[in-house]
């Protein structure tokens, strides 16, 4: 298998953490790429017509993309149980919430880094942060019992989302109003899979 990736991407990190957690990391060739919404990569676009990462080429079918699809595939391939049927809708909803945090946080970066300065819109950046921090607050208020349960894909997604907030938006404080989640993240981020995938 071949994974198109950029180490800074929280969506890629989610896949890489899952690979570590399921013992499949060395089954994949990790192909680094550099892309933005305005500078696609030909190999990535061949694997994913949307031109986004992560994208996974696999031997038993066409390439697959979107981190949630890739994580489901890799979980099924190993039979790892990170999408447990007993709480599948909770796991998928919490994973989607974490992915929404990632998406909003990435859009904030793109607005400042990719858009020409004269076209940047601070209101757009603020609106994305409102979405991200609102989701963080909701996880802290509603989902801590799930996060303290058995490991599943949602745990990985939440941890990668919070790690990306620290990585790209460290000047914004998500912790002070979310003490239980901050404590959970401090413990989870010490896992070997998280330590091995810290963006540089």
- Distance between CA atoms of 4 and 2, rounded to whole angstroms? 7
pLDDT band of residue 96 (cuts 50, 70, 90) is very high
Does position 67 have pLDDT exceeding 90, yes or no? Answer: yes
Pick the more confident residue, 200 or 134.
134
Q: Is residue 200 part of a domain?
A: no
177 and 104 in a single domain? The answer is yes
How far is C-alpha 74 from the chain's CA centre? 15
Q: Which spans in 25-178 are helix H?
A: 42-47, 67-78, 88-113, 122-142, 144-147, 153-168
pLDDT band of residue 37 (cuts 50, 70, 90) is confident
44 and 136 in a single domain? The answer is no
**Share of the chain residues as helix, strand and coil, in percent rounded to the nearest 5:** 60, 10, 30
The pLDDT tens digits of the residues spanning 122-171 come to 999 999 999 999 999 999 999 999 999 999 999 999 999 999 999 999 99
Domain total in the chain: 2
167 and 191 in a single domain? The answer is yes
Does position 199 have pLDDT exceeding 90, yes or no? Answer: yes
The domain spanning residue 30 has which CATH number?
A: 3.40.30.10
- Distance between CA atoms of 101 and 72, rounded to whole angstroms? 19
Q: Considering the entire predicted model, what is its pTM?
A: 0.97
Q: Which domain holds residue 45?
A: 2-78
44 and 11 in a single domain? The answer is yes
The domain spanning residue 161 has which CATH number?
A: 1.20.1050.10
């Amino acid at each position: 298998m071949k994974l198109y990736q950029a180490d800074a991407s929280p969506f890629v990190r989610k896949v890489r953490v899952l690979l570590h957690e399921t013992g499949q990391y060395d089954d994949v060739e990790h192909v680094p790429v550099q892309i933005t919404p305005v500078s696609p990569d030909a190999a990535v676009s061949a694997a994913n017509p949307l031109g986004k990462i992560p994208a996974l080429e696999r031997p038993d079918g066409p390439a697959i993309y979107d981190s949630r699809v890739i994580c489901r595939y890799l979980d099924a391939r190993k039979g790892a149980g990170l999408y447990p049927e007993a709480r599948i809708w909770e796991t998928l909803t919490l994973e989607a919430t974490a992915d929404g945090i990632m998406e909003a946080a990435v859009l904030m970066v793109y607005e400042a880094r990719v858009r020409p300065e004269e076209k940047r819109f601070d209101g757009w950046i603020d609106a994305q942060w409102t979405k991200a921090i609102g989701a963080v607050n909701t996880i802290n208020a509603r989902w801590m019992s799930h996060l303290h349960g058995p490991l599943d894909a949602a745990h990985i997604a939440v941890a990668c989302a919070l790690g990306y907030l620290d990585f790209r938006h460290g000047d914004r404080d998500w912790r002070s109003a979310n003490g239980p989640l901050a404590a959970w993240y401090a413990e989870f981020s010490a896992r070997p899979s998280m330590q091995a995938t810290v963006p540089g």
